[in-house]
Structures are given as structure tokens and as C-alpha cells.
């Protein structure tokens, strides 16, 4: 854990920092600072999951009768990746690294997850007794769980504040 300085904290974190010595709220505040990155990754990952799924579901609903579901996934993917990059870069990892270096690495992680998703979705639809929306929701959870270490050690390596 890196020591926190008032300069590197946002307004909410400065208030939490003041609670560290509080008998009732000190433990959760210390836990937050000890696991800040992981907690924010879960929050931003949750947002990204909801946002990406909603973009995909809306496009599937609007275009599903005209385009194959895998084409709809390919259309929704760049929108979801850009949203995820912004959240992870500025909120979770607080990166100051070059966008020109980080974004391609970040996108590569998502290309791998996209390829896995494109391969698993048809198989899962054939094997599982679930509709396309439930299967895609299950696969989306896998992306959030598997991508944290890839982003931490590959996409944003060296760019942390």
C-alpha cells in the first residue's frame, strides 16, 4: 500500500482519511485505503458491465431482426470499450501515462475478451437452457473478473499516480 497524501486524494477520500481514527468508522476507512484500487475497480467494472450490457441489449433490440447477434456485438463493443477506458484510466488507476500507449494495450485486453466472447456465445447458447440475454450477462461477468489483472499489469503499467 502506498502512503496517501492529502494532495493525491479527492474530496471524498479526504473526508474518509479523517475517519481513520474514528472508533466506529475507522476500520472501513482503513479498509478502503488498503484496497482502494480493487474496490474502485469493482464499482467502475460494475458500471461498465451495466453500461456495456445496456448498449448491447438496446442495439440487439433495435437491430436484432436485421443483423446477426454477433454483428450487433461487434457494433456495441467500441462504445463499451471507450467508456471502460475512461473509467479505469481516470477513476481506478489514475493513470498519467500516454493515452497513445495505454489505449492500444487496453483495447488489446478487450480484443482478447471479445474473441473469447464471440467464441463462447454460440456454444453457450447451444448448451445452456437460457436465452441470449441471460447467456451474455453470464459471459459479461467473466470479462470483469478476468480483466482486472490484465489492466493493472499490462494496460496501465507504469502510469499510476
3-state secondary structure string across 17-66: HHCCCCCCCHHHHHHHHHCHHHHHHHHHHHHHHHHHHHHHHHHHHHHCCC
3-state DSSP assignment of residue 158: coil
In the predicted model, what is the mean pLDDT of residues 84-106?
A: 92
Cell reading at 34:
488498503
Distance (Å, whole) CA 91 – CA 51: 16
pLDDT of residue 2: 47
DSSP tag of 91: I
pLDDT of residue 153: 84
In the predicted model, what is the mean pLDDT of residues 73-86?
A: 93
User: Is pLDDT above 70 for 8?
Assistant: no
Distance (Å, whole) CA 90 – CA 92: 6
Cell reading at 134:
441471460
pLDDT of residue 124: 93
Residue with cell 475512461: 86
User: Is pLDDT above 50 for 1?
Assistant: no
pTM of the model: 0.70
Amino acid at each position: 500500500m502506498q502512503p496517501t497524501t492529502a494532495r493525491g486524494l479527492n474530496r471524498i477520500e479526504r473526508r474518509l482519511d479523517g475517519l481513520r481514527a474514528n472508533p466506529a468508522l475507522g476500520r472501513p476507512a482503513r479498509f478502503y485505503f488498503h484496497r482502494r484500487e480493487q474496490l474502485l475497480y469493482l464499482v467502475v467494472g460494475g458500471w461498465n458491465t451495466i453500461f456495456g450490457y445496456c448498449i448491447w441489449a438496446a442495439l440487439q433490440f433495435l437491430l436484432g431482426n436485421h443483423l446477426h447477434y454477433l454483428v450487433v456485438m461487434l457494433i456495441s463493443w467500441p462504445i463499451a470499450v471507450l467508456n471502460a477506458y475512461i473509467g479505469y484510466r481516470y477513476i481506478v488507476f489514475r493513470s498519467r501515462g500516454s493515452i497513445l500507449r495505454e489505449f492500444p494495450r487496453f483495447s488489446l485486453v478487450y480484443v482478447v475478451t471479445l474473441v473469447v466472447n464471440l467464441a463462447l456465445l454460440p456454444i453457450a447458447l447451444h448448451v445452456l437452457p437460457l436465452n441470449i440475454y441471460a447467456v451474455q450477462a453470464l459471459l459479461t461477468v467473466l470479462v470483469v473478473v478476468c480483466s482486472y489483472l490484465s489492466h493493472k499489469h499490462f494496460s496501465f503499467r507504469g502510469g499510476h499516480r
